[in-house]
Amino acid sequence: MIIETLSNASQIEIVAKLACEIWNQHFTPIIGKAQVDYMLEKFQSQKAISGQIENGYSYYLLRADSDYIGYMGVCLKENELFLSKLYVRASQRGRGYGRKAVEFLEELAKQKALSKITLTVNKNNTDTIRAYEKLGFANLGSFAQDIGNGFIMDDYKMEKTC
């Protein structure tokens, strides 16, 4: 797997298209189509991704052979690397790409002298929670966050020490 740092508008467009595909497939059964559509527009549209990058987020495309198979987004927070997004196409899951992505992030955290990687994950996203636990993340507890338009993100916070 090759990990590419986003550096241009065409790559941002690829991430937005991957987000639409992956989120609709994966999250619609968990949070419903209306919330997926709202969150895609608010957090994963080309405009939203560009704004996040301008505000310090780093995005990466995941590529296997010549195909883009997923993406991730991170930002630095005090002594931690916050993993905001890590998504892999359904057809590519179970092949070790998530593990390789987390290993990349562990190296990135070490290079930046950060002591941990944190993330949030929907409480009902059980397969993903199990995957993160297998990768060494600990569940620190739950929290809910109002994201507007009547929607709530009901998540667990997870952490991995580097």
Distance CA 155, CA 94 (A): 23
What pLDDT was estimated at residue 113?
A: 96
Looking up residue 34, the CATH number of its domain turns out to be: 3.40.630.30
Buried residues in 14-29 as b, exposed as e (16+ CB within 10 A): bbbebbeebbeebbee
Domain encompassing residue 76: 2-115
Q: Which residue has the tokens 């994950």?
A: 121
pTM of this structure:
0.95
Tell me the DSSP string of 35-69. HHHHHHHHHSSHHHHHHHHHTT-EEEEEEETTEEE
Q: Is residue 43 part of a domain?
A: yes
Q: Is residue 14 part of a domain?
A: yes
pLDDT digits (tens, 9 = 90+) for 4-32: 999 999 999 999 999 999 999 999 999 99
pLDDT digits (tens, 9 = 90+) for 25-73: 999 999 999 999 999 999 999 999 999 999 999 999 999 999 999 999 9
Instruction: Determine the 3-state secondary structure of 86 from DSSP.
Output: strand
What pLDDT was estimated at residue 146?
A: 97
Q: Considering its fold, how many domains does the chain have in total?
A: 1
What pLDDT was estimated at residue 41?
A: 98
pLDDT digits (tens, 9 = 90+) for 81-130: 999 999 999 999 999 999 999 999 999 999 999 999 999 999 999 999 99
What pLDDT was estimated at residue 119?
A: 99
Q: Is residue 126 part of a domain?
A: no
Q: Is residue 138 part of a domain?
A: no
Q: Is residue 139 part of a domain?
A: no
Q: Is residue 100 part of a domain?
A: yes
Q: Is residue 45 part of a domain?
A: yes
Q: Is residue 60 part of a domain?
A: yes
